[in-house]
Structure 1
Amino acid sequence: MNSTAKRLRAGLLALAALQTLVSVWQYVFPRSFYDDFPTVRLDPPYNEHLLSDVGGLGLALTAMLFYAARVMDRRVVVSALTGYVVYAGTHFLFHVRHFDHFSVRDAVGVGTGLGLEWVLALTLLYVAWRHHRTS
């Protein structure tokens, strides 16, 4: 591996480490993140910052999925689907733990829709893994 590739890998690992730290804190301890991360609690009750950040992350994931569909490279497809499986799984798990104020109809609708989305992503990841393994 040449020196440029080594520096690129080091930079990617640094970004991944920083993002992991913040993301785990946000996902596992959301109240602590809200209360303790500098400036977050200063945002207004309707949190445009939070929603636009989540929307931006969704758009980034969308771009990865479109790119994977375009190039159909094994590594790109598996990488994009792995990211989507993590997103869809954590989104589904959040909602199935927070149905207290939902009607039964809404809980079934949301739970089913998000569950199917996660199962589809897992299925596509399995198909991609099998397809590229036999190719």
Structure 2
Amino acid sequence: MKHLKNIAAGLTLLLLFACNNAGNTSDEQNSDSTAVAEVAKATTGNGEISFVDEVYDFGQITDGEVVEHTFKFTNTGTEPVIVSRVSTSCGCTTPEYTATPVAPNKDGEVKVRFDSHGQSGKQQKIITVVSNAKNNIQTIQLKGEVS
């Protein structure tokens, strides 16, 4: 019986502390959100990506052809730019990109390969480039028509 009272007392204390912490969760979440925002701000530098061309029109091709294009960019900012991720809107488009830091006034590139096999009609493939630059999310695109 004595053990039962100790267990009940322990559970009561646990619930009491849990209830007190429930009121603080929004404050903790706000400080977590603030911390995340500060980290994001700290990792965004003063580099800036400037693409030579943001859209490449490959014209008309036949089903099964593969189109490759290299989008070149310059870091027009004052700090190195690091491209952390490049994603595409379709599995038929694969990217490769400069993985090393791009110093100010130096060039980098994003090379994309579009495999038109199984595609037909007008095509518009969006490529999203994520980096530590001021303009940290950029989009470039391939477009054309597959017949």
Q: How does the TM-score come out when normalised to structure 1?
A: 0.26
Give the strand-richer structure, 1 or 2. 2
Give the number of the structure with larger relative contact order, counting CA–CA contacts within 8 Å between residues 6 or more apart: 2
Of the two, which has the highest radius of gyration?
A: 2
